[in-house]
Amino acid sequence: MGMYDSIVITGGRGMLAQAIVAALAARKLSAVAVDRAAVDVTREADVRKLFAVHQPTLLINCAAHTKVDLCEDETEKANAINGHAVGVVARSAREHGTFVVHYSTDFVFDGSGRSPYRPDHPVGPLSAYGHSKLLGERLLQEHAPPEWLIVRTAWLYGRGGPSFPRTIVERARKGGPLKVVNDQIGSPTYTPDLAQATLDLLDRRETGIWHLTNSGQTSWFDFARSALGYFKVNANISPVTTAEWFKMRPKQATRPSYSVLDVEPFTRAVGRPMRHWEEALRDFASNVGEGGFS
């Protein structure tokens, strides 16, 4: 990481950006983390000023509209932040010779597969969110800076923001029954682990599209049950199918039924996999117990 003497992180208040800042600090490296109030990545003037002032050698783009269901009603906003803004960043990065890391999602796939998706597998998003993130991927490559890295990840959670385990635990503590989908399969990913894995790729100066998640796979229902267990919360929780869930909440975005990502290239490159999702979730519960979710 020593070759990156000026590191800028957009979306600086998000939980992934916070985890990256912490991972850099553990290496005695610092970064300028900017939030939307400081830099609106959809505004080319803001982005150009950011590059002019900080002259980043590495820019890590964590700015995103991540409310998947809301994206269905805010398609234009999702495309602006998740899509067109990435092109804006890429153009400035190309002018300044900046290495760009950009995060994408398992939602670029249609979920019809039954084996882990490779980085080169044909895409086919089902939701407005997935379409907007795919647009961002394509614009980064269309306006490619000298070096770029797209990291697709999935089912992200961690400290410093809303996440599925937090939602489940907080709802359970309020009482009442919980219903969770049991026929969508994926791999939960803990933000500190994703941050560390990203730095591992940067250490090797890897480029292109990579898939990074914690190891193993599960359903949302079993993910929820594990979270309740590690947080020591009793709850009345029952599984439902996606079809049943849509009957209860018809305005939900369509999610891939299977979105496990093939992380073997990372394992081969670095020499070890990211740890199992249950081990990471246990760590999350332990750390949250010390100071609460926020």
Confidence class for position 252, pLDDT limits 50, 70, 90: confident
Over residues 152-164, the mean pLDDT reads 93
Range among 63-67, 111-115, 196-200 with highest mean pLDDT value: 196-200
CATH number belonging to domain 7-162+187-215+260-274: 3.40.50.720
Residues in contact with 197: Cβ distance below 8 Å, sequence separation at least 6, in sequence order: 212, 266, 270, 274
Cα-Cα-Cα-Cα dihedral of 28, 32, 36, 42, to 10°? -120
Structure tokens at 263: 């992380």
Q: How confident is the model at residue 1 (pLDDT cuts 50, 70, 90)?
A: low
What are the extents of the domains in the chain?
A: 7-162+187-215+260-274
What 3-state class would DSSP assign to 276? strand
148-153 sheet: strands from edge to edge: 32-34, 7-10, 58-61, 99-105, 148-153, 208-211
From 4, 117, 129, 190, active-site residue: 129
Task: Compute the distance between CA of residue 201 and CA of residue 173 in angstroms, rounded to an integer.
Answer: 39
Q: What is the percent of the chain with per-residue pLDDT over 70, rounded to a whole number?
A: 97
Q: What is the pLDDT of residues 214-246, one digit of tens each?
A: 999 999 999 999 999 999 998 889 999 998 888
- Beta-strand relationship, 185-186 and 218-219: antiparallel
Q: How confident is the model at residue 104 (pLDDT cuts 50, 70, 90)?
A: very high
- Across the range 62-75, mean pLDDT stands at 92
Task: Quote the pLDDT of residue 84.
Answer: 96
Q: Which run of H or E residues covers position 95?
A: helix 85-96
Residue 129 annotated in active site? yes
Rounded to an integer, the average pLDDT of 143-151 is: 96
Q: How confident is the model at residue 291 (pLDDT cuts 50, 70, 90)?
A: low
